[in-house]
Structure 1
């Protein structure tokens, strides 16, 4: 059975459904021409005969860009506020916050999220600022988790108040968690975040493990001369617990004083890990830094089998590795040195209602304004679809990004 639309597009109904939302929609069903309204009734019986799908939501052309990438992952920033002041995220002088009345309300978030989910989004990640400081966070999680077709409801948090809230959030449907932590040294934590709270973050990590989150993902932005000497300590966090440490290359955003000299490339980080694990396998006694750095290349090749590359999903942002006999895993997010734009499936809804199709792209379009002007879902989908179609094949190189105006990370939500 085929569906033929004017303009030469032929879609397999058994695979794609009816993605077009245009009013001049005409099609042929089993040789009979009909309009969109007729097609809806005509195809109901046929669709009911199809084998059951994991999700009842059919992929929408709205989420496909001009390069054929289908975007099924939406990141929603719930607030611009945060209880930390991390150096790579927020300028030292702070940021100008959007007035509360101009931020999306609970109902507006759910309406937009529902529109995305019914169009094919099956994963939503809540970000900030710091999402856990939003007072209605539990209600938002509960409402989102009840959206039919949503498989994953995740959150990225700094972990400061997470330990107390996580049991309730899990009951509300939060089924994946990322905790940001850039140092295991309390004094250094206070320097990097301009706040206290290291012990509270560690408690949140342990709570997440105890509640059964697997893996508990830890996001670590690596900066040369600041925390790159802790890579081995972070690796050891994965030895006994189901933790996935994600080493992130330092990225340029407004106000974070990015410098290429601070960047520790993925290849260098991986090399350090391999040498460390090789040294452990070679000598189980106390290992010092000089031993790790002087281990020869032949030994490194011989022991590389102890750090194995996992099979990544085409849309993964991370390069994932499993260390032999370790419970957890490690990953590297290589936005600067080896971008992963070809498999990008992410879209971003900011706290003020702006829609952003690329983390590093300065272009944004407001969904809040037409929403509050009373437009229907069809118009909202047209706005979203047009923005998705304008998405570029890849972001600029890191040196061009450093010179491109973009919001501070705390406004974007990562």
Structure 2
């Protein structure tokens, strides 16, 4: 009877106001980044958060420990660039000790991954997502607006050798900037067990402002996923129908729809924030580096956890408050900043 009541409490805690089960927490471990990607951060950067406002390792671990009994099962460490955080390997090891966490992953630009890949795996990291918007050194520098002695293939091979799996490669596709590399990037999956995901650009921030200032429509930078798949289908190998859950990469149940070339070791996927909404199945929330629980990556609804952490107050009531306000769709879809409906209108 007591066990049944506890299970019912957990079931209620797992759902937001729209009935979606929330089990995935993205934890930003730093606001700093060594890139200034054109679609992400202004060239001059942003004012860095004061060190005393950032969550400590103890506080991050405490958040995960308190959310795990509420149904948290997956944790992804992000940034900024998470490999810039001192003591990252130790933090991974501590999070791995939280018994309820089934999947512990890292999103990175890969520039500092190779030297620590083995240490991360030994500490308990399961897998990595690596951003690779180009395979060409000059173009990497152009898109990242930083020059780093960086070979993305070497970083990915180091992750594979360390036993981090599955390896997912994120490519933000920008018309006229890197869309001529789609086939080259997709070909990485033919003889490697890697999963390349092509992500529709969300034209916001400085990049959109730059386009608008020159009289161009920022939406023209978006390459719809249907166009991406059409090009991949013309590569001379059969591109299979979307893989069912059993054929998609193990671990993770994010928004990508996966396909596989005939005989390929890996898969290609598309993530479609602009043309095909997947918000209805959203199962995640984000913890910012300074302790705000944000319920939508592209929204502004958030609840602060840091003060409660430092005062020793329980986080459960604040988490419930946050989930009660989680929006049904991200801000681009609600036309607050353009998006799906605006794009469909442009298309006719």
Higher deviation after alignment, 386-395 or 162-171 = 386-395
Partner SS, residue 234 of structure 2: helix
Query: Where does residue 320 of structure 2 map in the other structure?
Result: 385
Task: State the 4+ residue runs in structure 1 displaced beyond 6 angstroms.
Answer: none
Alignment of 1:197-236 (within 5 A): 197=148, 199-236=150-187
Aligned with residue 309 of structure 1, among 238, 242, 246: 242
CA distance in 2: counterparts of 1:201 and 1:84, whole angstroms:
14
Query: Where does residue 263 of structure 1 map in the other structure?
Result: 222
Partner SS, residue 255 of structure 1: helix
Query: Where does residue 13 of structure 1 map in the other structure?
Result: 4
Query: Where does residue 355 of structure 1 map in the other structure?
Result: 293
Whether contact under 8 Å (2:203, 2:222) holds in the other structure is no
What's the CA shift for 1:251?
A: 1.2
RMSD over aligned CA atoms reads: 2.1
Q: Is 1:344 the counterpart of 2:334 in the alignment?
A: no
Query: Where does residue 215 of structure 2 map in the other structure?
Result: none
Cα 1:401–1:93 change in 2 (3 A) is: farther
CA distance in 1: counterparts of 2:15 and 2:102, whole angstroms:
20
What's the CA shift for 1:18?
A: 4.6
Aligned with residue 326 of structure 1, among 256, 264, 283: 264
Aligned with residue 89 of structure 1, among 34, 40, 50: 40
Whether contact under 8 Å (2:125, 2:164) holds in the other structure is no
Partner SS, residue 86 of structure 2: coil
Aligned with residue 371 of structure 1, among 305, 309, 314: 309
Q: Is 1:151 the counterpart of 2:142 in the alignment?
A: no
Cα 1:119–1:205 change in 2 (3 A) is: same
1:125-171 Cα distance to aligned partner (Å, 9 max, x none): 00000111111101110000000111110000011010001100100
TM-score (norm 2): 0.88
Query: Where does residue 409 of structure 1 map in the other structure?
Result: none
1:99-129 Cα distance to aligned partner (Å, 9 max, x none): 0100101111010111111211111000000
* Corresponding pairs, count: 326
Alignment of 1:76-225 (within 5 A): 76-197=27-148, 199-225=150-176
What's the CA shift for 1:360?
A: 1.3
Alignment of 1:63-74 (within 5 A): 63-74=14-25
Partner SS, residue 31 of structure 2: coil
1:246-265 Cα distance to aligned partner (Å, 9 max, x none): 10000144334261010001
TM-score (norm 1): 0.75
What's the CA shift for 1:372?
A: 1.8
Cα 1:198–1:230 change in 2 (3 A) is: farther
What's the CA shift for 1:308?
A: 2.7
CA distance in 1: counterparts of 2:73 and 2:300, whole angstroms:
25
Higher deviation after alignment, 246-255 or 105-114 = 246-255
- Residue ranges of structure 2 left out of the alignment (5+ in a row): 210-217, 340-348
Higher deviation after alignment, 176-185 or 247-256 = 247-256
Whether contact under 8 Å (1:319, 1:332) holds in the other structure is yes
- Residue ranges of structure 1 left out of the alignment (5+ in a row): 4-11, 20-58, 282-302, 405-414
Whether contact under 8 Å (2:121, 2:163) holds in the other structure is no
Q: Is 1:273 the counterpart of 2:213 in the alignment?
A: no
Query: Where does residue 293 of structure 1 map in the other structure?
Result: none
CA distance in 2: counterparts of 1:63 and 1:103, whole angstroms:
27
Partner SS, residue 245 of structure 1: strand
1:285-333 Cα distance to aligned partner (Å, 9 max, x none): xxxxxxxxxxxxxxxxxx5xx4231014895301111111111101100
What's the CA shift for 1:62?
A: 2.9
